[in-house]
Structure 1
């Protein structure tokens, strides 16, 4: 929208002093002529924009001009910046940078040192270790499809390793337990599902619009499905002293029950699938499944197969 572009130009000029018309044209993907028309519109709105000639010239605001910042406090701004920086670690875009510039522009210069201190106290980095270009590309594509209200299709591998091409109506992207998911209405299942992005391949945005259904995210619907009594199975897991800290990290200190032999028992409930077996096995020899018996048998069988692979 032109109004958004005009405001963004003003913000950039407030923050950077002078900007070349060509740079603005490239940033907003318009012509230089359009930028100069925008500058005229900004001037007509009462915001003093001037053009400087020469080697260090460009477009700028009259010295001393600042935006009104009465709506939000510095503390409010710091919280917004912290949240935005966290999101930007995994899916940074020009719009994120422009928004950061907008916020920085309305912080008084005398408060900037304190503001920088506030926004560096708490850092959430959602990015993966190493490069994950395909994941980042899918995040960008899905975000675009959600904005355009377009159907997307992809090949999906479920927890059992079965593959199927799915066409879905995307609603929101979810970060859960350090993993990215897509919450979408599955046209095959005719129900909402949570799809793990790392299990999706050949993601394509289709030029097929859909009508969004009213969905409440308070509380998150995927959390309700996960914790529903009919979805879970109650486990009794026993950890040794060596793995006590891992049990505390995963289940909470208050959930551990110590017995007389120096072991610690927890009783969580999880849906039974391949993820659950892998989760239990991730603790190695430091955990034992006490109940239920069939889960104990499955873990024992998997452990024997793993051991067999390493026998000479």
Structure 2
């Protein structure tokens, strides 16, 4: 228990820079006297921690202090390397230098058990890395960007945004930004962002405690309970999307019972299966898919 708190104090000071004894006592729910005893233990273990007197003083670590590798377990070291390797997949080659240094520091040469590549099939990986780095630079430097964006309706629009965060969710990268056109926060899928321009206009960070809920867009979607049937040959795509718990196999077919967003993505997803999916319910969804398939067929018949 004590050892765990000591490590947490070290991590807290590394993150915050410094803290008062009272702040640490409230953070870890112990007395100020206990915190001072903990600081003595940390110092006695060779960690360069010291106190600065005065109104702006506090407890802090020596500048540029880093944890020794002996304080990390092998699993933690592998997790660190895995995280950096994931970042290397979307950033420039300089990340490989960092990885090489950490492999040497951790004495772990064998990291070839995994390969991370988040670029899309058929895409230009170098182009995607360049765009990602422009967006990362905009977020870090708080610089306004301009780009063309293709919405789910296929219509392109010009956007001016204040980018706040890059998010990886459900096999895709998104940009979380304040859109000056819509005057609201928006989630932009990176694959639909084109012609990015990094401007010289600076903006302020979001004030503390006012960041909006990132799950807002999921809550705004109207969900629908669907029952779908797929032939066995579609199993690979079915399991790419659905969890095993919502899939039932019987007589060579797969039945999926799931709650999904009732939007354009759902229609496009179902139509992408062609004749390899049957919508069993709801009836309204089945009718809508039928109508769209007939429209697509008519389009091809008119353009023979």
Give the secondary structure class of the aligned counterpart of 2:90: helix
| CA-CA distance at 1:214 after TM superposition | 5.2
Q: What is the aligned partner in structure 1 of residue 55 from structure 2?
A: none
Q: Confirm or deny that 1:270 pairs with 2:270.
A: no
Q: What is the aligned partner in structure 2 of residue 72 from structure 1?
A: 72
Q: Confirm or deny that 1:161 pairs with 2:160.
A: no
Give the secondary structure class of the aligned counterpart of 1:234: strand
For residue 205 of structure 1, the aligned residue among 198, 214, 225 is 198
Tell me the TM-score normalised to structure 1 length.
0.64
Q: What is the aligned partner in structure 2 of residue 36 from structure 1?
A: none
Q: Partners of 1:230 and 1:188 in 2: how far apart?
A: 22
The answer to whether the 8 A contact 1:82-1:123 is kept is no
The answer to whether the 8 A contact 1:159-1:273 is kept is no
The answer to whether the 8 A contact 1:149-1:209 is kept is yes
Q: Partners of 2:193 and 2:91 in 1: how far apart?
A: 17
Relative contact order, higher structure (CA 8 A, sep 6+): 1
Q: Partners of 1:158 and 1:304 in 2: how far apart?
A: 24
Q: What is the aligned partner in structure 2 of residue 233 from structure 1?
A: 224
Alignment gaps of 5+ in structure 1? 1-66
The answer to whether the 8 A contact 2:221-2:262 is kept is no
The answer to whether the 8 A contact 1:146-1:170 is kept is yes
- Mark the CA change 1:251 to 1:69 in structure 2 (over 3 Å): closer, same or farther: closer
Q: Confirm or deny that 1:301 pairs with 2:294.
A: no
Give the secondary structure class of the aligned counterpart of 1:276: helix
Give aligned pairs, total.
Answer: 234
Tell me the TM-score normalised to structure 2 length.
0.66
| CA-CA distance at 1:185 after TM superposition | 1.8
The answer to whether the 8 A contact 1:172-1:182 is kept is yes
1:152-199 deviation line (CA, Å, top 9, x unaligned):
121111000122211111112122333221111222333322101121
Q: What is the aligned partner in structure 2 of residue 254 from structure 1?
A: 245
- Mark the CA change 1:129 to 1:286 in structure 2 (over 3 Å): closer, same or farther: closer
Q: Partners of 1:139 and 1:229 in 2: how far apart?
A: 27
The answer to whether the 8 A contact 1:225-1:231 is kept is no
Q: Confirm or deny that 1:287 pairs with 2:282.
A: no
| CA-CA distance at 1:85 after TM superposition | 1.4
The answer to whether the 8 A contact 2:163-2:178 is kept is yes
| CA-CA distance at 1:215 after TM superposition | 7.6
Give the secondary structure class of the aligned counterpart of 2:278: strand
For residue 114 of structure 2, the aligned residue among 122, 128, 151 is 122
Q: Partners of 1:128 and 1:249 in 2: how far apart?
A: 15
The answer to whether the 8 A contact 2:229-2:256 is kept is yes
User: What value does the CA root-mean-square deviation take over the aligned residues?
Assistant: 3.0
Give the secondary structure class of the aligned counterpart of 1:247: helix
Q: Partners of 1:211 and 1:121 in 2: how far apart?
A: 42
The answer to whether the 8 A contact 1:237-1:265 is kept is yes
Alignment gaps of 5+ in structure 2? 1-66
- Mark the CA change 1:185 to 1:209 in structure 2 (over 3 Å): closer, same or farther: same
For residue 193 of structure 1, the aligned residue among 186, 199, 202 is 186
Report 1:9-24 matches (<5 A): none
- Mark the CA change 1:184 to 1:305 in structure 2 (over 3 Å): closer, same or farther: same
